[in-house]
Structure 1
Amino acid sequence: MSTPTIGRFVTMRAQPGKGGELADVLSKVAAVLEGAPGCQMYVICRDKDDADVVRVIEMWTDQESVNAALAAVTPEREFTVEDVLGKLTGRPEVVEFTPLSGPGMPS
């Protein structure tokens, strides 16, 4: 398995009371990405103190893999990128990082 070179923490704020719906759609995205080339991690997290805040932790081997995965998110998959964006109060906050080492890191 290739070592990831792209990492992201993405924080999304759902419209009031829509955090569960947002998490459900993102879980469908995660299911599509399971086994996708270059996707090393795509974990959906719900904020402990605010149910309308959902975070994604993701790691990828390269940008080409990210682009290919986005192309796979189509209406035929029962959801679209707009299904995610339509549940948000604003733009997602994205923090990019370079994965280095630690438990759970692919080698």
Structure 2
Amino acid sequence: MSKFAMYGKFTAHPGKGDELAKILLEAAEQSKDFDGCELYIINTAEEDPDTIWVTELWRDVESHDASLRQEGAGELIRRARPLIAGVQPIKLRPLGGKGFDRSN
């Protein structure tokens, strides 16, 4: 199995970035208890508060997929959906670097 990483770019409807970010921060909090999640960081674009980036690192793609089925994930998605104007997922294959442990 190989690690799985993703950047998610969420564009909120105008003026809804803070509300969307709060929901994504709830998802980040839930990810702390999920075994396959190694990194889940919510970021806002410095000059555009309605653009939120999610930085994710997972043990493998299966762990990521399972996280979307965990209790509470569907409810967060339902709450976030009306706030989202667009989503751009960028799937990545991590190669290495500081803070990245290839052995796990």
TM-score (norm 1): 0.85
Tell me which of 73, 90, 94 is aligned to 2:89.
Answer: 94
Counterparts in 2 of 1:105 and 1:4: CA distance versus 1, 3 Å = farther
Q: Which residue of 2 aligns with 1:104?
A: 99
Q: Which one is further off, 62-71 or 10-19? A: 62-71
RMSD: 2.0
Measured after TM superposition, the shift of residue 106 of structure 1 is 3.1
Measured after TM superposition, the shift of residue 35 of structure 1 is 3.4
Measured after TM superposition, the shift of residue 73 of structure 1 is 4.7
Unaligned runs of 5+ residues in structure 1 are: none
Measured after TM superposition, the shift of residue 67 of structure 1 is 2.1
Q: Which residue of 1 aligns with 2:46?
A: 48
Measured after TM superposition, the shift of residue 4 of structure 1 is 5.8
Percent sequence identity is 28
Q: Which one is further off, 8-17 or 80-89? A: 80-89
Mapped pair 1:24 → 2:22: yes
**Equivalent-residue separation in structure 2 for 1:103 and 1:35 (angstroms):** 23
Q: Which amino acid aligns with 2:98?
A: P
Measured after TM superposition, the shift of residue 83 of structure 1 is 1.4
Give the total of aligned pairs: 102
- Contact map agreement 1:73 1:81 (CA 8 A) in 2: no
